[in-house]
Amino acid sequence: MDFAQNSLFGYIEDLHELAIIERPVRRSLKTPEEIERLTVDEELNDIERAVYLLSSGQDVQGTSVVANLPVLIRQNPVETIRRVVPKIREVLHVAGVEMQITAAYSFLTILQEELVSIHSYCHSFLQIILQNLEHRDTGVSNAWLETLLSVIEVLPKENLRHEDDCTGDVGPAAEPFIAALQLAGIAPAVAVVLPLRPGTQMHHFRGMPIPRRPQWTGDSNILNPLISKAQLSQTVQSRLASCKILGKLANKFEIHVIKRDILPLVKSLCQDVEYEVRSCMCRQLEYIAQGIGTELTKTVVLPELVELARDENNNVRLASFESLVNLLTMLDPDDRIQIVLPLVKSFCEKSFKADESVLASLSLHLGKLCHGLQGVFTQDQHLWFLEFYKKLCRLGLHQENGHNDNQLQTIELEKKYLLVRKNCAYNFPAMIIFVGSKNFHLELFSSFFCLCHDPEVPVRLTMATGFYEVAKLLSSNIYIIHKELITLMQDESLEVLDALLDHCPETLELMTTGGENPGSETKLVMIPDLIPALIAAEQKSSASLKWRTHEKLLQKYACLPRIISSDQIYYRFLQRMFAILMSNNVLPVQKAAARTLCIFLRYNRKQEQRYEIIQKMIEQLGQGKSYWNRLRFLDTCEYIMELFSKSFFCKYFFLSVLDLTNDPVANVRMKICYMLPKLKSTLKLPTDKVLLQQLELCVRKLLCQEKDKDVLSIVKRTVLELDRMEISMEAFQKRYYEKDMLDQEKEREEHLLLEMEQIEKEKQQNEAKTTEKNFEKKRRDSKTGSALTKNIPTSITGSTANSPSGKEVKKTKLVRSRSFSHHAINSKHGTLEKYPNKLSGGNSVPGVGKAALLPYVAVQYLEDYFPNDTFKPRSTSVTGNLSFSSSSAIASSSRITGNSVDQKTNGSKDSQPRKISLKNRKSNT
């Protein structure tokens, strides 16, 4: 018995421990008294409830009210500002960090969404912002500072402008700003002693009179409170806030005001004793330069930046470098050559000896720097910066760590070097512009190869993100990097593949068309390596747990009909799409595979292959044993209705979908009921009258025999929608003009695919006949030649040199053949010119006219959508095309009269003869 108790329930001591653990959990539950204190009267409206919670509620309730403040203002702005905002001001004096940060975020939301006017905002909220700007917690203070900076940014210039006579007149929106500053205890400036920044010059001022900051007198205006906050007597946090505020105010005043009041303060902050203040003010100089213009920038800002670039602190020098890079566009060429370029070059040379964080910032801004100074570089300087970039691309890859015994320092150093190489990968497109696409192979390809094969994932990820930009810049030289595309596509990290997929269709199209030069000899150079890489990428993403990457990949593979041939898609990708539909457990992945499969079917050019794909869809999905497969069949049919013409869907899938109304699973029948309006919209009368009767019969059967309550309710709602629907007629109807035109365009393209298939077959037959004739001719010539060589003396062979050779005879025949082909095509163009209305959208003439037009349109569509399949029909195939087109026209006319369509033609059901248009073939992809 003791053994049973011990084995089932454990020892008594363990039970005691469990009881001890449970006690704090029970104590954490709210007592009735606490619940009573948290309970609020339900009869109170939102405003009264907010005031009550701010007055007597707990902190968590007050924080909730502050977070909900934008919603209250949307509902009732007047009462919220009158009653709730004053309560928030009172509570924030004693509020905690969480409520303070929440209030700053809510105030910023109100400003960004413009829930109140700027004048009302300054009058109601600005005082609260300034009162809490000096909070002892740094995070809270920074949150309020960001809100204040946003207020200054949206404040109109005229509301901050004061008069030249210094009377203190300000705009109406600035009055509450000044009043708020005064209420916050910020007084105008007084004479305050300021020591210069420490460093090499510090010892010269010991024991000597110390310069003072400039004094400002006169009436108080909006700048005076700000000046007081920038004095040395204030805290470092206050002076840092002043630097950021000055950067925002630089664009809000006239030039003379900035020159008189702001620039002296800027200079004094650039000479502050704390390096944090000097660095912060240095980063604001670019914004101040934008406000004062190029002349003052050259005389005031640039000297300050040059001086700060020689500062003893790395952070200050780094801030100066970044500001110089951002101001390159505002400097004239002389300043760039004489001042900026030597300074930047010296900074780059010293960067390897300084802190590694300097290298990280330098590598991040190097692309912008080279682009901004490109016009002033000499050849040697150009080569120097290029070699410097190449050195950064390999930084840390071959470092010897034997000199460093501290493993932690080595890890930190490797992280910094990783960041440098990542920044180099980010700047690679800018460096291609720097050297030019023609010099890419000689100058930058080695660095490109190194970054694409970097051992660290973030570097390769950055290269994959910018690969499309690199491909666009290389243009016709894009073939150089096709192996690196294959490498990134087969990368061991799925993050790299995911980044590459963002612009995968555009990149692949550039690759396979040779960039901007369609006639390039490098076209299709990467196709043999591309298909295995695409297959491997799909298999790898499928085997992982990152189904979103797999879904994106399947969506992007819809571009493959423009990249590779339909045979390659059929033999290498279609079976995989079926396998995903049948076996994958993630619904978004299955739907992505279904849509891509429909696109593959849409642009397949083989009649037998299309029939086989359709048959597989119906048998394996629509008639599958698993109800899950039957649901995916319905999803696939929705994509077919979207991508194909109505006649195509009605011919191959309509009855198969209706058969599922008898499905034993209620979920399948329910999905069918939701699809009934779409099914009815695919019908056209009078051609599809039989299908409409079948649809009505299925609906009646569902209404009479359906036992599932949910399905029956959906059927009843759907019947009302079906009764309101109108079916489009074969005759022209203005109300359905746009939809009918789109459907006609889809149907026309489907017929063109049939024409392409027939033309290709005739082309192959002609090539086979030509090859056979050439073989027979060579065999006869060989026999004749052997007989002649036995009878003709060798001395006579030299006399036949002037006679036309066999090659020349063949060349003459080829020229005649080409001229005949050209004549046939020209005659076809003449036929088109006789009927301009057919190409411009008018009604086509049934019978022979359409038959004469379709082959030419088929060739154009083939060359337009399938650029990779070189297709030029010969003159011998033109007559065959005409006969096939006439049969196609007969088939289409038989559909109009209601006769059954011939199963041998793989076209969808054709409606009345319609106009031929070649516009926007690519838009349907």
Q: pLDDT, tens digit, for every residue of 736-781?
A: 556 667 777 877 877 787 777 777 777 777 777 777 777 677 666 6
Length of the chain: 925
Is residue 61 very low, low, confident or very high in pLDDT (cuts 50, 70, 90)? confident
The pLDDT of residue 919 is 39
Q: Which residues, at least 6 apart from 893, have a Cβ–Cβ distance to it below 8 Å?
A: 846, 847, 913
Output the pTM of the full model: 0.69
| Helical residues (DSSP H) of 395-465, grouped into ranges | 407-426, 428-435, 440-443, 445-452, 457-465
Give CA–CA dist 113/670, Å, rounded: 43
Query: In which element (H, E) is residue 35 found?
Result: helix 32-38
Give CA–CA dist 633/88, Å, rounded: 58
* b/e burial code for range 4-30 (CB count within 10 A of at least 16 → b): eeeeeeeeeeeeeeeeeeeeeeeeeee
The pLDDT of residue 200 is 37
Report which of 741, 736, 754 is spatially closest to residue 917, judged by C-alpha positions. 741
Q: What angle do CA 774, 777, 783 make, to 5 degrees?
A: 145
The pLDDT of residue 876 is 37
pLDDT of 543 > 60? The answer is yes
Give CA–CA dist 617/629, Å, rounded: 10
Which phi and psi (to 5°) does residue 193 adopt? Answer: -75, 135
- Report whether 447 contacts 389 (CB < 8 A): yes
Q: Per-residue pLDDT tens for 814-836?
A: 343 333 333 333 333 333 333 33
The pLDDT of residue 693 is 93
- For the domain that residue 58 is a member of, what is the CATH number? 1.25.10.10
Beta bridge partners of 728: 684
Report which of 225, 235, 253, 261 is spatially closest to residue 127, judged by C-alpha positions. 225
- Report whether 46 contacts 69 (CB < 8 A): no
Is residue 574 very low, low, confident or very high in pLDDT (cuts 50, 70, 90)? very high
Higher pLDDT, 728 or 350: 350
In a domain, 81, yes or no: yes
In a domain, 739, yes or no: no
How does the average pLDDT of the chain come out, rounded?
A: 75
The pLDDT of residue 46 is 83
Is 375 buried (19+), middle (13-18) or exposed (0-12) by CB count in 10 A? exposed
Q: What angle do CA 325, 226, 216 make, to 5 degrees?
A: 105
DSSP 8-state secondary structure symbol assigned to residue 480: G
pLDDT of 857 > 70? The answer is no
Beta bridge partners of 193: 212
Place of tokens 């006690």: 23
In a domain, 115, yes or no: yes
The pLDDT of residue 750 is 77
Q: Which residues, at least 6 apart from 187, have a Cβ–Cβ distance to it below 8 Å?
A: 225, 228
Neighbours of 655 (CB within 10 A): 14
The pLDDT of residue 551 is 96
Q: What angle do CA 211, 214, 220 make, to 5 degrees?
A: 155
DSSP letter for each residue of 55-91: HHS-HHHHHHHHHTHHHHHHH-HHHIIIIIHHHHHHH
Radius of gyration of the chain (CA): 39
pLDDT of 591 > 80? The answer is yes
In a domain, 851, yes or no: no
Higher pLDDT, 93 or 917: 93
- Report whether 151 contacts 122 (CB < 8 A): yes
DSSP 8-state secondary structure symbol assigned to residue 556: H
Report which of 653, 599, 651, 664 is spatially closest to residue 621, judged by C-alpha positions. 653
Q: Please state, in angstroms and as integers, the Cα–Cα distance from residue 259 to each residue in 155, 217, 919, following that order.
A: 21, 16, 60
pLDDT of 154 > 70? The answer is yes
The pLDDT of residue 872 is 40
Is 353 buried (19+), middle (13-18) or exposed (0-12) by CB count in 10 A? exposed
Helices (H) and strands (E) in the chain, counts: 51, 2
Q: 10-24, 642-656, 810-824: which has the minimum mean pLDDT?
A: 810-824
- Give me the number of domains the chain comprises: 1
Give CA–CA dist 151/128, Å, rounded: 13
Determine the average pLDDT of the residues in 62-74: 92
- Report whether 635 contacts 643 (CB < 8 A): no
Q: Per-residue pLDDT tens for 21-49?
A: 444 444 456 677 666 666 766 778 888 88
Query: In which element (H, E) is residue 151 found?
Result: helix 138-154
Strands 684-685 and 728-729: parallel
In a domain, 860, yes or no: no
pLDDT of 475 > 80? The answer is yes
Report which of 199, 232, 200, 229 is spatially closest to residue 213, judged by C-alpha positions. 232
Higher pLDDT, 296 or 527: 296
Q: Per-residue pLDDT tens for 598-618?
A: 999 999 988 899 999 999 999
In a domain, 197, yes or no: no
| Helical residues (DSSP H) of 466-493, grouped into ranges | 467-474, 482-489
Give CA–CA dist 286/278, Å, rounded: 14
Q: Which domain holds residue 115?
A: 35-159
The pLDDT of residue 790 is 47
Give CA–CA dist 195/190, Å, rounded: 16
Cis omega (within 30 of 0) for bond into 686? yes
Q: 195-204, 310-319, 649-658: which has the minimum mean pLDDT?
A: 195-204
DSSP 8-state secondary structure symbol assigned to residue 478: G
Give CA–CA dist 232/273, Å, rounded: 9
Is residue 912 very low, low, confident or very high in pLDDT (cuts 50, 70, 90)? very low
In a domain, 65, yes or no: yes
- The highest-confidence range among 3-12, 490-499, 874-883, by mean pLDDT, is 490-499
Query: In which element (H, E) is residue 737 found?
Result: helix 737-791
Q: Per-residue pLDDT tens for 416-445?
A: 899 999 999 999 999 999 999 999 999 999
Give CA–CA dist 912/728, Å, rounded: 14
Q: Please state, in angstroms and as integers, the Cα–Cα distance from residue 553 to each residue in 31, 511, 592, following that order.
A: 54, 18, 9
Give CA–CA dist 83/523, Å, rounded: 72
Q: 101-115, 480-494, 859-873: which has the minimum mean pLDDT?
A: 859-873
Q: Per-residue pLDDT tens for 307-364?
A: 998 888 888 989 999 999 999 988 888 889 899 998 888 888 888 776 667 888 889 9
Give CA–CA dist 489/809, Å, rounded: 51
DSSP 8-state secondary structure symbol assigned to residue 527: H
Neighbours of 671 (CB within 10 A): 20
Place of tokens 């100074």: 373
Maximum separation of any 2 CA atoms in the chain, in Å: 129
The pLDDT of residue 156 is 75
Type of residue numbered 294:
T
Give CA–CA dist 255/241, Å, rounded: 23
Determine the average pLDDT of the residues in 872-880: 37
In a domain, 797, yes or no: no
| CA count, 13 A, side-chain hemisphere, 348 | 23
- Report whether 240 contacts 276 (CB < 8 A): yes
Give CA–CA dist 438/474, Å, rounded: 8
Give CA–CA dist 213/239, Å, rounded: 14
Is residue 214 very low, low, confident or very high in pLDDT (cuts 50, 70, 90)? very low
Give CA–CA dist 572/570, Å, rounded: 6
- Report whether 756 contacts 858 (CB < 8 A): yes
Report which of 565, 518, 914, 563 is spatially closest to residue 749, judged by C-alpha positions. 914
Place of tokens 């330098």: 362
Q: Please state, in angstroms and as integers, the Cα–Cα distance from residue 527 to each residue in 449, 485, 509, 778, 799, following that order.
A: 20, 12, 11, 35, 51
Q: 468-472, 683-687, 831-835: which has the minimum mean pLDDT?
A: 831-835
Q: Three-state DSSP class for 193? A: strand
Determine the average pLDDT of the residues in 468-478: 91
The pLDDT of residue 185 is 39
pLDDT of 802 > 80? The answer is no
pLDDT of 171 > 90? The answer is no
